[in-house]
């Protein structure tokens, strides 16, 4: 018996509506020149923009994805984004639209700069004094943790590997009935990593200096990071009980680093202490409270809480767990919170002793449970109306972060002139590194001579040696550029600079350095050769062919090696020559490039004194326009 049509349709289900086709064959596109300049409104949907440009919606969506924006056909986009899409598709935008987009971008930048921080307090009658938050920094093994250990009368240092701090923690002590919150960090790197994410996490910085060792490179870096954060400094002169302690030498070295202590007529207090003998600790706490009183630290405990994550982890039994430092307001169990790019609802809180608490006021450190994902140290915690609002804010931040990946917002020498013209740039911040300390004074003096009324030059940190991760981190947090003179950048620092969008400039002649800075201030930078490191290979064996030809048997450890590219030979951490890769072989075959984790034979054009253990670095150079006034 034949089945009826209705029975067949019932088993197969209802017929699906025809699918919309956005292919090139479905929508006829026009020549952009035939459309003429287009007017773009303040906001427009993807579909309406496609109709305006007479293109497929798929073309608009494709250009948005290239910029890191994943939009649907009915999603609204702003004028600036729509203008970029139109230009990428070859369409001319009317002058009024372009001017409006530029004006909106400038207004948005000014508004963002003027936007008050969530940590800012209104001058209300609800403001109450709060405990100071103190960060302890200094050179390795100068006694940072031992000093805190002595203050807290705990055994933190003895339980750590090698007596060196391995994590970030917050603790509280009481002096004269007043609380002081200490952040024990593994160094100024963590302190500045927090500041790079927008966290104002400290009120006072204690710089620990060993009386027997003096001011060391990391001491100078810690001072530079504290000054960049614009927090007052207190010097703790540790290990004064040692026989070879020399306080006068330390005071002189601090003065040379532009840290003038009160004894020498400056404004930086210095307190002699001994963590081992437990002397001078009471004096140090009193000085901290005195400096805090001068700042008149206050907070409103009735407002929604705002704070900073100081450490976080994924606990197998409890899920994401974060230690938060509440800096203002009061955090309650049940509050909906946004933490960086994640969110959640506070299910439970514990204080430093592991005791459950229901609320945490200003300058309190608590452990939080209830966040959906593990946040990063330095993420800012903010209480919002409800969990729905928290989720929306977190998703918006993720989208904004994805959009920023296509172009960093860090300061570069190229856009300095544009910022000056817009009235946004007041100073050019520089992290300066040179081969020897003698060069630093000459460069600093030369830079001071070219400062203008519109913008001043602020050298955040200067030091001798290679450009390291710490320099990149400081520049990233401070929107500074890194300038190197006769010095190189470490491979890890180069990768950090690329990921953070930090502008790194290397020079071997002082007048070229000063000419570039001066040209940037006047908007007349010349094109520059930009170097791109392609990869690195380790020399495992050396083969000599004939009298002069040398082939290095190598293993590519990073990136790729490219034939006819530049070659830099490293030995014992130093560059011994710069040459060109003349030949590149895989087994018996000549090849154009060799990828990571493969073996190859490298022949250089002129340099033949290669030994096992050398590192051959492949690099290319290209000329990039630097006309910043456009």
**What tokens appear for 603 in the block?**
């022949």
* DSSP β-ladder status, 169-175 and 133-138: unpaired
pLDDT > 90? residue 536: yes
Q: What is the CATH number that goes with domain 416-525?
A: 3.40.50.10050
Residue 618 has pLDDT above 90, yes or no: yes
Ranges of each domain in the chain: 32-114, 128-298, 306-403, 416-525, 531-624
Structurally, what CATH architecture does the domain formed by 306-403 represent?
Answer: Beta Barrel (2.40)
Q: What is the mean pLDDT of residues 498-512?
A: 83
Q: What is the mean pLDDT of residues 459-484?
A: 84
Residue percentage of the chain with pLDDT more than 70: 75
Winning range, highest mean pLDDT, from 334-338, 386-390, 570-574, 588-592: 334-338
Closest CA to 63 of 36, 82, 41: 82
Burial of 31 per CB tally in 10 Å (0-12, 13-18, 19+): exposed
pLDDT tier, 424 (very low <50, low <70, confident <90, very high otherwise)? low
CATH number, span 531-624:
2.40.30.10
| Spatial separation of the C-alpha atoms in residues 355 and 357, rounded to whole Å | 6
Please state the pTM of the whole predicted model: 0.56
Q: What is the mean pLDDT of the chain?
A: 78
Residue where the block lists tokens 């919309």? 20
What's the rounded mean pLDDT across residues 280-303?
Answer: 91
Around Cβ 17, how many Cβ atoms within 10 Å?
A: 6
For the residues 236-252, what does the mean pLDDT come to? 90
Q: Where is pLDDT greater, at 535 or 228?
A: 535
Measured in whole angstroms, the distance separating CA 242 from the mean position of its chain's CA atoms is: 39
pLDDT tens for residues 153-163? 743 444 444 44
Most confident of 10-24, 198-212, 327-341: 327-341
Q: What is the rounded distance in angstroms from the CA atom of residue 461 to the CA atom of residue 465?
A: 12
pLDDT at residue 430 above 70?
Answer: yes
| pLDDT for the residue 347 | 93
Angle between helices 79-88 and 95-114 (to 10 degrees): 130
123 has a pLDDT exceeding 70: no
Q: What 3-state DSSP class applies to 336?
A: strand
pLDDT, tens digit, 9 for 90 and up, residues 400-412? 766 554 444 456 6
Q: What percent of the chain has pLDDT over 90?
A: 21
**Helices first, then strands: H and E counts in the chain:** 17, 31
Name the band, by pLDDT with cuts 50, 70 and 90, for residue 629: very low
502 or 195, greater pLDDT: 502
Q: Which CATH superfamily is domain 128-298 in?
A: P-loop containing nucleotide triphosphate hydrolases (3.40.50.300)
Higher-confidence residue: 89 or 95?
A: 89
**Fold match flag (416-525 vs 531-624):** no
User: Residue 257, Cβ neighbours under 10 Å: how many?
Assistant: 14
pLDDT of 105 reads: 57
Residue 335: pLDDT over 90: yes
> What pLDDT is attached to residue 168?
38
E strand or H helix that includes residue 290:
helix 281-295
Q: How far apart are CA 88 and CA 82, in angstroms?
A: 10
pLDDT on residue 411: 60
3-state SS string for 560-574: EEECCCEEEEEECCE
Least trusted range by pLDDT, from 188-202, 304-318, 369-383, 548-562: 188-202
Q: What is the pLDDT of residue 13?
A: 47
Highest mean pLDDT among 214-218, 337-341, 373-377, 407-411: 337-341
The pLDDT of residue 423: 56
């Amino acid at each position: 018996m034949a089945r009826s049509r209705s029975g067949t349709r019932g088993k197969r289900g209802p017929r699906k509506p025809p699918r919309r086709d956005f292919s090139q064959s479905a929508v006829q596109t026009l020549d952009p020149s035939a459309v003429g300049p287009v007017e773009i409104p303040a906001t427009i949907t993807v579909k309406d923009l496609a109709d305006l440009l007479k293109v497929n919606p798929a073309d608009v969506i494709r250009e948005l994805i290239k910029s890191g924006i994943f939009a649907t056909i009915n999603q609204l986009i702003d004028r600036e984004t729509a203008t970029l899409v139109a230009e990428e598709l070859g369409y001319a935008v009317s002058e009024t639209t372009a001017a409006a987009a530029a004006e909106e971008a400038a207004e948005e930048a000014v508004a963002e700069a003027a936007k008050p921080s969530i940590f800012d307090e209104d001058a209300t009658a609800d403001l109450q004094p709060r405990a100071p938050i103190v960060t302890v920094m200094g050179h390795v093994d100068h006694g940072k943790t031992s000093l805190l250990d002595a203050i807290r009368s705990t055994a933190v240092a003895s339980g750590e590997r090698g007596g060196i701090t391995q994590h970030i923690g917050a603790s509280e002590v009481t002096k004269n009935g007043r609380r002081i919150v200490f952040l024990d960090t593994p160094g100024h790197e963590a302190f500045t990593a927090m500041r790079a994410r927008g966290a104002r996490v400290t009120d006072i910085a204690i710089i620990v200096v060993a009386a027997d060792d003096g001011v060391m490179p990391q001491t100078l870096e810690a001072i530079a990071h504290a000054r960049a954060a614009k927090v007052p400094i207190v010097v703790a002169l540790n290990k004064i009980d040692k026989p070879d302690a020399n306080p006068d030498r330390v005071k002189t070295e601090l003065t040379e680093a532009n840290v003038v202590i009160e004894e020498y007529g400056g404004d930086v207090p210095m307190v002699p202490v001994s963590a081992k003998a437990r002397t001078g600790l009471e004096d140090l706490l009193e000085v901290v409270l005195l400096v805090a009183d001068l700042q008149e630290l206050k907070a409103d405990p009735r407002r929604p809480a705002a704070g900073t994550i100081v450490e976080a982890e994924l606990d197998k039994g409890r899920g994401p767990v974060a230690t938060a430092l509440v800096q203002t307001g009061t955090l309650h169990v049940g509050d909906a919170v946004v933490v960086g790019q994640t969110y959640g609802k506070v299910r439970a809180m514990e204080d430093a002793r592991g005791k459950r608490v229901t609320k945490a006021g200003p300058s309190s450190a608590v452990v939080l449970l209830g966040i959906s994902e593990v946040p990063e140290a330095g993420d800012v915690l903010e209480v919002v109306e409800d969990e729905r609002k928290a989720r929306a804010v977190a998703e918006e931040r993720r989208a904004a972060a994805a959009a920023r990946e296509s172009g960093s917002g860090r300061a570069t020498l190229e856009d300095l002139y544009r910022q000056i013209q817009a009235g946004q740039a007041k100073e050019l911040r520089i992290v300066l590194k040179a081969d020897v300390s003698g060069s630093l004074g000459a460069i600093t003096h030369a830079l001071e001579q070219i400062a203008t009324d519109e913008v001043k030059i602020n050298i955040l940190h200067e030091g001798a040696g290679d450009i390291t991760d710490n320099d990149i981190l400081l520049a990233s947090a401070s929107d500074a550029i890194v300038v190197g003179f006769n010095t190189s950048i470490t491979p890890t620092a180069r990768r950090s600079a690329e990921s953070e969008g930090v502008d790194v400039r290397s020079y071997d002649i002082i007048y070229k350095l000063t000419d570039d800075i001066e040209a940037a201030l006047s908007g007349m930078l010349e094109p520059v050769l930009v170097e791109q490191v392609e990869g690195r290979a380790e020399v495992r064996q050396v083969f000599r062919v004939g009298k002069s030809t040398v082939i290095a048997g190598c293993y590519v450890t990073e990136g790729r090696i490219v034939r006819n590219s530049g070659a830099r030979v490293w030995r014992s951490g130093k560059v011994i020559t710069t040459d060109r890769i003349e030949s590149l072989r895989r087994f018996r075959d000549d090849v154009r490039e060799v990828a990571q984790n493969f073996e190859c034979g490298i022949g250089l054009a002129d340099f033949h004194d290669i030994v096992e253990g050398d590192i051959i670095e492949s690099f290319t150079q290209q000329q990039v326009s630097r006309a910043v006034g456009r």
